[in-house]
C-alpha cells in the first residue's frame, strides 16, 4: 500500500486538480445554479461513481486497451460531445419563470429526479475519454510495485481522488446552488443563467468533439 506521506501528497494534488476549471466542475456549477444545491450534489455523486469506474478500468488494465484504440476514443468523445450538445439545447430552450423557491431536483418525484441527476453525472464522466486517459497516466505514478500489488494501490488512490473530488465539487454545488437560488427569483436573471449554461455546454461539446488524444 502507498505510504501515508504519498497519500497526503496525492490528496493535495487531487484537490488542486479538482479546483482547476474543467468540464466536470463547470457542469456541477451550472447544474447547481440552475436546479439547486441538492441537484448539484446528486450530479457530484454521479461524477464520483464515474471515477470509480475509471479507477477500476485502470487497475484491471482495461484502460490501456481503450486508450490504444483510436476508434474507442473517437466513439466516446462523440458520445460525450453529443450529450453536452443535448444539455446545451435543453438549457437554451428552457422557459424562464421567476420563482421564490426554485426546485431542488427537476422531477415530479424527488427520488426519481435525484437518480436521474446521478445518472447524468455518471454519463458526463464516463463519456469523456480524456478522464480515462488521464487516470491511466496519473494514478500509476503514485503506485510502488515494491510495496505490493499495484492494482490495490491504484484502487486506493482512486478512492482518495474521489474523496478530494467529492469535497471540492460538493463545496461548488453548495455555493453555486445558494447563489443560483437568488438569481432564480428574477425571470430575466434566470434566462441569462440558462443561456449562459447553454453556451458553456455547447462550447464544451465543440472542445470535446475536436480534441485529440
The Cβ-side half-sphere exposure at 82, using a 13 Å CA radius, reads: 7
DSSP track, 13-81: HHHHHHHS--HHHHHHHHHHHHH-HHHHHHHHHHHHHHHHHHHHHHHHTHHHHHHH-HHHHHHHHHHHH
Q: ∠10-16-18 over CA atoms, to 5°?
A: 100
Q: How far apart are CA 128 and CA 199, in angstroms?
A: 19
Q: Tell whether 122 is covered by a domain.
A: yes
How far from 147 is each of 34, 112, 153, CA to CA, in Å?
46, 44, 9
pLDDT, residue 184, reads 61
For cell 468523445, the residue is: 77
Q: Tell whether 142 is covered by a domain.
A: yes
pLDDT, residue 11, reads 94
Other Cβ atoms within 10 Å of 40 Cβ, number: 30
Average pLDDT of span 191-197: 71
pLDDT, residue 160, reads 94
List the one residue out of 39, 84, 120 whose CA is nearest residue 197: 84
pLDDT, residue 103, reads 45
Q: Which residue has the higher pLDDT, 19 or 72?
A: 19
Question: Would you say residue 91 has pLDDT above 60?
Answer: yes
pLDDT digits (tens, 9 = 90+) for 128-181: 777 888 888 888 888 888 887 888 888 999 999 999 999 999 999 999 888 776
Q: Tell whether 62 is covered by a domain.
A: yes
Q: Which residue has the higher pLDDT, 13 or 136?
A: 13
Q: Tell whether 4 is covered by a domain.
A: no
Average pLDDT of span 106-111: 56
The size of the chain, in residues, is 213
pLDDT, residue 159, reads 93
Question: Would you say residue 53 has pLDDT above 50?
Answer: yes
Domain of residue 82, residue span: 23-209
Question: Would you say residue 98 has pLDDT above 60?
Answer: no
For the chain, give the mean pLDDT: 80
Question: Would you say residue 40 has pLDDT above 50?
Answer: yes
Q: Tell whether 128 is covered by a domain.
A: yes
Q: Tell whether 18 is covered by a domain.
A: no
Average pLDDT of span 106-133: 79
Q: Which residues of 49-73 are buried (b: 16+ CB within 10 A; e: fewer)?
A: bbbebbbebbbeeebeebbeeeeeb
196-200 long-range CB contacts below 8 Å, 24 or more apart?
196/30, 197/30, 197/33, 197/34, 197/87, 197/88, 197/91, 198/88, 198/89, 198/90, 198/91, 198/92, 199/88, 199/92, 200/26, 200/30, 200/88
Q: Which residue has the higher pLDDT, 185 or 152?
A: 152
**Global pTM value:** 0.76
Q: Tell whether 11 is covered by a domain.
A: no
Average pLDDT of span 102-122: 71
Q: Tell whether 191 is covered by a domain.
A: yes
Coil, helix or strand at residue 123: helix
Write out the three cell numbers for 109: 418525484
The domain total for the chain is 1
Question: Would you say residue 114 has pLDDT above 90?
Answer: no
**pLDDT-derived band of residue 57, with 50, 70 and 90 as boundaries?**
confident
Amino acid at each position: 500500500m502507498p505510504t501515508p506521506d504519498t497519500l497526503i501528497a496525492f490528496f493535495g494534488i487531487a484537490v488542486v486538480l479538482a479546483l482547476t476549471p474543467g468540464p466536470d466542475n463547470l457542469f456541477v456549477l451550472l447544474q447547481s445554479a440552475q436546479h439547486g444545491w441538492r441537484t448539484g450534489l446528486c450530479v457530484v455523486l454521479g461524477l464520483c461513481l464515474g471515477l470509480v469506474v475509471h479507477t477500476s478500468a485502470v487497475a484491471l488494465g482495461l484502460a490501456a486497451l481503450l486508450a490504444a484504440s483510436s476508434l474507442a476514443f473517437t466513439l466516446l468523445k462523440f458520445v460525450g460531445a453529443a450529450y453536452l450538445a443535448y444539455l446545451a439545447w435543453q438549457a437554451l430552450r428552457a422557459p424562464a419563470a421567476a420563482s421564490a423557491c426554485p426546485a431542488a431536483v427537476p422531477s415530479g418525484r424527488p427520488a426519481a429526479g435525484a437518480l436521474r441527476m446521478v445518472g447524468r453525472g455518471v454519463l458526463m464522466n464516463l463519456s469523456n475519454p480524456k478522464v480515462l486517459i488521464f487516470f491511466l497516466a496519473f494514478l500509476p505514478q503514485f503506485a510502488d510495485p515494491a510495496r505490493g500489488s499495484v492494482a490495490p494501490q491504484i484502487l486506493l488512490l482512486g478512492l482518495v481522488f474521489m474523496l478530494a473530488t467529492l469535497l471540492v465539487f460538493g463545496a461548488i454545488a453548495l455555493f453555486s446552488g445558494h447563489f443560483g437560488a437568488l438569481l432564480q427569483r428574477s425571470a430575466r436573471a434566470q434566462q441569462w443563467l440558462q443561456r449562459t449554461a447553454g453556451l458553456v455546454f455547447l462550447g464544451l461539446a465543440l472542445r470535446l468533439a475536436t480534441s485529440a488524444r
